A and B are shown apart, each in its own frame.
Chain A
Amino acid sequence: MATNVYLPEPMRIVRRFNLISDVRFFQVRPLAMDRALSLDYLPGQFMIVSLPGIGEAPFSISSTPSRPGLIEFGIRNVGVLTEQLFKLKENEIIGVRGPYGNGFPISKFEKKDLIIVVGGLGAVPLRSLLLYTLDNRDRFGKIYFLYGARRPNEMLFLNEFLELKGRDDLNCLLSVDKDDTGKWTENVGVVTTLFKHLKGINPNNTYATVCGPPVMYKFVIDELLKLGIPKHQILMTLERRMHCGVGKCGHCVIGSIYTCMDGPVFSHWDVLHMKDLI
């Protein structure tokens, strides 16, 4: 018989630390080295974390398949499962299934310019894409990374992104709605205020990816459309309730599609066409 897709694979927590006050970074790996190295996935895919006796929930992968061996998540403590997850320490075991979902259509991005727009926790899946493109830098055109958070202490991977500002093959733009530290040296304003730094965009040769809180999408997409980027080249990753990850439990259904299999990455055209996506 085929393998049982519902059985979680035990993985060991290698590192964990808080990214911000309520979001924790988890770096995990399968117990066997060969499995750890062969576990492949795409940026934009997710996995289901499973604690026996507690339950399961989907989480975006934050690491890049170009650095095999370790899987990374950025998890916000919002529910019963995550509360238990936060109690676990390094070297403890968690169950993981997947990867699931369509992920970003990386092959379509080849030779194209890329605008990655992030709000808040959206940095988790889009960090995967960003790191992947940087690890395969010669396959892509110009890369813009625009990240907006409410305050400096709510920005995930802040030091990592500040470091990336030093690269000359990446345009890394960070912004906070409000600086309450007095030490913020980057832009202040909502993420759309960063768009003024995008100069000389060739829209037909550009893909944009967006992930953030629901309120952000409309404003960001308006900006991207103003730049002339075609609707099907604007991609976003969406969130829904899921129990299975494999198109069976039905909780992630939106109209005609299952977010877990047909998504979580959708184009702006999908959103207009299928309704109810956001």
Chain B
Amino acid sequence: MKVLKLQKRNLNSYLESLRVFGEIYGPVRKDEKYIYGQLDDLDKLDLRMLRTILPVKKFLVPPKFNTFSFEGYTYKPELEKIPRRVIFGVHPCEIHGLLILDKFFLERFPDPYYQERRKNTAILGLSCVPDEKCFAKSTGTHFVESGFDLAFNELQDFYLVWVGSSLGDDLVRLRLDLFEEDIKERDLHEYMKWRSWRDSQYKLKLDMTGMPDIMELNYNSPIWKKFGDKDLSCGACSMVCPTCPCYNVRDQLKPVGNSGERQRHWDSCMFKPFAVVAGGHNFRENRAERVKLWYTHKLKAFITEFGKPACVGCGRCIDTCPVDINIKTVVTALKGV
């Protein structure tokens, strides 16, 4: 993998040059939080961001979109309107989230909507320093080797920039004059020093090894009812989780004629109707069962299917749940400590 250097003072000039590829998005402030917002003006870019409200999944699987419009049985898939975008400032845990979504949407039965958006979205990663809700070191998602086009690692005066894809290489070549190709030994030392300092910043540790076994042991545990009673069924955890992909489908008709759109929008297994079949039977009637399913899927099912948990340690659920049902409280309760 090619590694380059970009002086910090050149960042904005470089980002500006990416507009030839597409719209530029990056962390911007929204009240007391951050979101990935459009950067028509690069001054809005706020790199103090630690976590955005919604993860980068919102660009690849938007909360609500039309899959196709129809007129009778003639369909027009809405793939052409997908814009080209550059997302700057994506943290390593988020890129790991994307790798999970990639497996999910691109392997068996590739999803054309995800495929097209992924192709049209340049992911520019950025290193981060954790807060008390981050535990990406525990999940092994605090560094990335793939899943991005460029990955920026912030050091004192410059960024080390890893080129992760052919598209990333094209993007670098847009302003090759801004980059230095010569990585010196003292740069390596600075990077190594930064690594160990950053490692020491992870205050929250959540050991997730052996979670499938622990989940099995807790199958009939009273903790599920305890969490279920508290659960607001607001679904916010699913919305903010970088790896929650579930969706619902509905058809929007026009009042006249036989045309309309088939829409897809985010859903959550925390909602009661999620597992209701025609005729009314609900396979997960109780909140406790639904909370259990959510965590079973994150901490057990994904490990069985993809070899790692579907938790990337981003801390969004910890930051979002109003009643403290999150990966930290649940894992802690599951372990009985």
Contacts and interface: CB of A to CB of B under 8 A. Distances in A.
Please tell me whether chains A and B touch each other in their complex, using a CB distance cut-off of 8 A: yes
Interface of A: 1-2, 4-8, 10, 52-57, 76, 78-79, 81-82, 93, 95, 214, 239-241, 243-244, 246-251, 253-257, 261, 275-276
Given A2-B110, A7-B77, A253-B297, A241 B275 contact: yes
A248 B247 contact: yes
A2 B116 CA distance: 11
Contact of B250 (A5, A8, A55, A251): A55
A255 B303 CA distance: 11
Interface string B216-257: 000100000000000000000000000001111111010000
B58 to A, nearest CB: 17
A202 B258 CA distance: 57
B258 A52 contact: yes
A255 B296 contact: yes
19 contacts: A1-B79, A1-B115, A2-B110, A2-B115, A6-B77, A52-B70, A53-B258, A57-B278, A76-B279, A79-B279, A214-B281, A241-B276, A241-B283, A243-B248, A243-B249, A247-B108, A249-B267, A251-B248, A253-B297
Contacts of A55: 249-251
Nearest to B75: A7
A214 B281 CA distance: 11
Given A251-B275, A255-B301, A256-B300, A52 B112 contact: no
Contacts of B248: 243, 249, 251
B67 A53 contact: no
A256 B67 CA distance: 27
Contact of B105 (A54, A76, A240, A248): A248
Sorted from nearest, which 10 A-B pairs have the closest CB atoms?
A250-B246, A246-B109, A256-B301, A79-B278, A10-B73, A52-B70, A53-B253, A256-B304, A78-B278, A78-B279
Nearest to A56: B249
A248 B104 contact: yes
A79 B276 CA distance: 12
Contacts of A54: 251
B112 to A, nearest CB: 5
Interface residues of B, number: 46
A89 to B, nearest CB: 16
Contacts of A53: 70, 251, 253, 258, 260
Interface in B291-336: 293, 296-297, 300-301, 304-305
A73 to B, nearest CB: 14
Contacts of A8: 73, 75
A239 B275 CA distance: 10
Residue among B73, B77, B260, B279 with the highest chain A CB neighbour number at 10 A: B73
Interface in B256-270: 258, 260, 262, 267, 269
Secondary structure class of chain A's binding surface, majority of residues:
loop
B190 interface: no
A52 B262 contact: yes
A142 B277 CA distance: 35
B108 A251 contact: no
Contacts of B297: 253, 255-256
B223 to A, nearest CB: 17
B274 interface: yes
Nearest to B70: A52
B170 interface: no
B210 interface: no
Contacts of A239: 277
Contacts of A244: 249
Contacts of B279: 76, 78-79
A93 B277 contact: no
B278 A82 contact: yes
Contacts of A248: 104-105, 109, 111, 245, 247
Nearest to B247: A249
Contacts of B108: 246-247, 261
B73 to A, nearest CB: 4
A79 B297 CA distance: 29
B274 A241 contact: yes
A125 B2 CA distance: 55
Contacts of A256: 296-297, 300-301, 304-305
A7 B275 contact: no
Nearest to B110: A2
B68 interface: yes
Nearest to A249: B247
B278 A253 contact: no
Contacts of B116: 1
A273 to B, nearest CB: 10
A250 B277 contact: no
Given A52-B251, A248-B111, A249-B247, A240 B70 contact: no
B300 to A, nearest CB: 6
A93 B73 contact: yes
B114 to A, nearest CB: 9
B239 to A, nearest CB: 13
A54 B267 CA distance: 19
A251 B293 CA distance: 11
A54 to B, nearest CB: 6
B313 to A, nearest CB: 21
Contacts of B249: 55-56, 243-244, 249
B98 to A, nearest CB: 16
A193 B43 CA distance: 78
Given A4-B77, A246-B108, A250-B247, 16 more contacts: A5-B109, A6-B112, A8-B75, A53-B251, A214-B281, A247-B108, A248-B105, A248-B109, A248-B247, A249-B248, A249-B267, A253-B297, A254-B283, A255-B297, A261-B108, A276-B283
